[in-house]
Amino acid sequence: MSMIKLEEDVSLVLCGEAGQGIQSVENIMVQALKMGGYHVFSTKEYMSRVRGGQNSTQIRASSKRVKAYRDRIDILVALSKGAIPHLEKRITENTLILGDEEVLQDLEEKYYNLLKAPFISKAKKLGGLIFSNVIAAGALSCIMGVDKEIFDELITLLFASKGEKILENDLKAGVEGYDIGKKILDSGRISIKIEKNPATGKEILINGTQAVGLGCISGGCKFISAYPMTPSSPLQVFMADNASEFEMVFEQAEDEIAALNMALGASYAGARAMTATSGSGFALMQEGVGLAGMIETPVVIYIAQRPGPAVGLPTRTAQEDLNLALYSGPGEFPRIIFAPGNFKDALELSHKSFNLAEKYQIPVFILSDQYMADIYYNLPSLDIEKLEVEDYIFETDTDYKRYLFTPDGISPRGIPGYGQGLVCVDSDEHDEEGHITEDLNLRTRMVDKRLKKMDKIRKEAVPGEFFSTSNSSAYTTLIMGWGSTYWPLKEALLEMDNDNLALLHLKQLYPLSSQAGELIKKAKKSVMFENNAQGQMAQLIQKETDLKIDHKVLKYNGMPFSVEEILAVLETLEEE
C-alpha cells in the first residue's frame, strides 16, 4: 500500500462488463473534466457483444493538451472481477486500483496497490448495478477537483430525458460518488497537482467521427446512403442527426451494394453524395466503385477500418483496408485516397474530398479507423471560414457531350435538367455522347482520357506534415505514419526531443505527393508505423517512389499504438 502522487497528466481507466455503462462514465467524465479546467483525451476499447466481456475507457486529464493513447494507468476503477486480468499488462506498482471488496478480494496487496471503494454495493442500495457507473464518475470527479455543481448539471443533461425517477437516482448516485471520493482524498493515498485552465470550459469537445462529419457537411454533402456497420455507423448517425438542419437526405439502404449505387444516382442528378462503411461492407461495393470510374460520377466513400478479413474484430481498430481502397473496382481509373490523422485534417480533408470528387468526377476515399472515429479531445475551435464549396457543374447546350475529349481528360459535367443537353451515361464503354460502343480504337482513347486526369491530380496531391522538434531538416531518421498514428507518433517525438528524428505524417496516401520521396532520400534511415501486418503504406511508397522503407513497425492486434510502444522502438533505433 503506497501513496500515489500525480502531476500534470493523469491517466484514468475504467473497466467493467458490457452493460455496466462504461461509455456513460466516459461521456460524463470528459465533459466534467473539461468544464473543470482540464485538457482531456479519451479512447475506448470494447467487445462486440451486448453483455459480458470486458470494456474499458481511458481518460487523460492534463494541464497541457493531450491527444494520444498511453499504456500508463494511474488510477484504475475496476467495476468487475475481470477488469484486473484484462488490463494486467498495463498495471504497475504505481497504479492505484479502486474497486468493491468483492471485486478486489482475490488480489494480494503485496502485488497490487489496492483501495476498496464501494461502487457496486452503493449502487445495489440505490436500485441496481447500473448506478455504479455514475458513482464511479462522481468519485473520480471529486478526486480530480471538479465542482459538484458542474457534475450535477452534466448528470441532468444526460439523464433528464429518461424520466424524473431515473434522474433523481442518478443524482443520488453522484452524491454517493462524491462521498466516496472525499474519503479517498482524506485517506491520503492520492495526491494530485494539475494546473487548471478555466478557458478549457469554453472550448469544443468533439470526436473523430464528428470532425469528419463536419467536413462532409461543410463540403456540401447533400445525400448519404449507407448500411450500418461498426465503426462507420457513428458517422451515419451523425449525418442522419444533422440531415434536417443542413438540408441533406440520409437513406439507410438495404445493403452496401445499394448504398453506393444510391449515392451514384444522387450524384448523377447533381447532389454531392457519399456513402459510409467498413471492411467487408466496402468489399460489397466493388462493382459500384467501378461504375463510378466508368460513368465518371463523383462520390465520396468513407471507410472506417477495423481488423479483417471478413467480420474480423468488428469493434477494434486497424489500418488494413488501404490496398482494398487502392485496388477496388474492376478496370483502371483515377481515384484519390485521404487519411486524416487529427481533427483539423479530418475537417479539411473531408471537405476537400467533395471538391476534388466533383472537380475530377472520380471516387474519393476517406480512410479512418475505429480509434480515430471514437477518440475525443478538446480544441479551441475548428476554422471553417476558409473552406469553400467549389462548383464544377456545367449548364449544357443542345450539342452537349458528357464524355467530350479534352486535353486534361476532364469533360464538362452536366446534370439532367440543367440546360438543353442530354446527360447520357452508360456502364458499358461509350462514346463522347455516352452511347454504348465496341469501337476498340475509341475504347483506347476513352481509357486514356480517364487516366489523363491523374496528371493534374498528382500535381495537386496534398503533402504530408513534416515535423521535427528542432524545426530543422537536418535529421538522420525519418519516422513515418498515416491516419490515426499521428498523435501517438508526435507525442513520442516531442518526448524524445532528439534532433536526429523527424516525422513525416502522410495525409494523402494516393496519389502520393512528390514531397514524400524527397524527404525519404534525405534520411539515413526511414521507419514506417502502421496498424497492419504487411506494411501496406510502405509497399505503396516503394511502388510510387522506388524507395524502400528501412524499418516497418507493424501492429495488428486490434489496438492502436501507444506512446510508450513508439518510444521503445525509437530508443532501440537510436542505439543501433
Q: What is the pLDDT of residues 13-64, one digit of tens each?
A: 999 988 777 888 888 899 999 999 999 999 999 888 777 788 999 999 999 9
pLDDT in tens, 483-542: 999 999 999 999 999 999 999 999 999 999 999 999 999 999 999 999 999 999 999 999
pLDDT for the residue numbered 516: 97
Nearest Cα neighbor of 530 from 479, 478, 573 is: 479
**Does the pLDDT of residue 573 top 90, yes or no?**
no
C-alpha to C-alpha distance for 461 and 360, rounded to whole angstroms: 13
Residue pLDDT, tens place only, 199-244: 999 999 999 999 999 999 999 999 999 999 999 999 999 999 999 9
Residue 562, Cβ neighbours under 10 Å: how many?
20
Please say whether the dihedral angle defined by the alpha carbons of residues 139, 141, 142 and 148, taken in this order, is positive or negative. Answer: negative
Q: Among 369, 351, 330, which Cα is nearest to 530's?
A: 369
Q: How many CA atoms lie within 13 A of 562 on its CB side?
A: 13
Query: If phi over 0 gives left and psi between -120 and 50 gives alpha, with beta otherwise, what is residue 527?
Result: beta
Spatial contact of 522 and 478, defined as CB atoms under 8 Å apart: yes
Please, are residues 337 and 365 in contact by the beta-carbon 8 Å criterion? Answer: yes
Q: Is 186 exposed, middle or buried (0-12, 13-18, 19+ CB in 10 A)?
A: exposed
Burial of residue 384, with CB atoms counted within 10 A of its CB: 0-12 exposed, 13-18 middle, 19 or more buried: middle
Q: Render pLDDT for 112-129 as a digit per residue (tens, 0 to 9).
A: 999 999 998 899 888 888
The full DSSP string for 196-220 is: --GGGGGSEEEEHHHHHHHHHHHTT
Name residue 157's beta-bridge partners.
none
Q: Which three cell numbers stand for residue 346?
A: 479530418
Distance CA 281, CA 319 (A): 15
Average of per-residue pLDDT values in the chain: 95
Residues in CB range of 22: below 8 A, 6 or more apart: 14, 15, 16, 44, 46, 55, 56, 57, 79, 133
Cross-strand bridge partners of residue 43: 58
Reported residue count of the chain is 576
Residue labelled with grid coordinates 467536413:
215
Q: What is the pLDDT of residues 311-370, one digit of tens each?
A: 999 999 999 999 999 999 999 999 999 999 999 999 999 999 999 999 999 999 999 999
Q: Which three-class secondary structure state does DSSP give residue 439?
A: coil
Query: The C-alpha cell of 465 is what?
Result: 506534415
The amino acid sitting at 565 is: E
The sign of the CA dihedral 509, 383, 273, 377 is: positive
What integer pLDDT is reported at residue 22 of this predicted model?
83
How far, in Å, CA of 443 to CA of 520, rounded? 39
User: Which residues neighbour 317 within 8 Å (Cβ) at sequence distance 6 or greater?
Assistant: 231, 305, 306, 307, 369, 370, 371, 372, 484, 531, 558, 559, 560
Residue carrying C-alpha cell 444510391? 262
Which of 406, 401, 393, 392 is CA-nearest to residue 421? 401
374-421: per-residue pLDDT in tens?
A: 999 999 999 988 999 999 999 999 999 999 999 999 999 999 999 999
pLDDT per residue over 471-498, tens digit each? 778 899 999 999 999 999 999 999 999 9
Cα 9 from Cα 12, distance rounded (Å):
10
Torsion of CA 437, 443, 449, 451, to 10 degrees: 120
Distance CA 214, CA 235 (A): 10
Cell of 26: 466516459
For the CA atoms of the chain, what is the radius of gyration? Answer: 26
pLDDT in tens, 73-110: 999 999 999 999 999 999 999 999 999 998 999 898 88
Task: State the pLDDT at residue 1.
Answer: 61
Q: What is the pTM of this model?
A: 0.96
CA distances (Å), origin 15, targets 5, 6, 32, 80, 482: 22, 20, 19, 7, 29
Residue with cell 534520411: 523
Q: Which amino acid is located at 343 in the chain? A: F
Mean pLDDT of 63-73: 97
C-alpha to C-alpha distance for 341 and 496, rounded to whole angstroms: 20
Burial of 385 (0-12, 13-18, 19+ CB in 10 A): exposed
- Which residues are bridge partners to 508 per DSSP? 338
Name the 3-class secondary structure at 301: strand
Instruction: Report the distance separating Cα 555 and Cα 62, nearest Å.
Output: 27
pLDDT of residue 132: 87
Is the pLDDT confidence value at 285 over 80?
yes
What is the rounded distance in angstroms from the CA atom of residue 282 to the CA atom of residue 21? 31
- CB count within 10 Å of CB 52 equals 12
Asked if 181 and 151 touch (Cβ cutoff 8 Å), the reply is: no
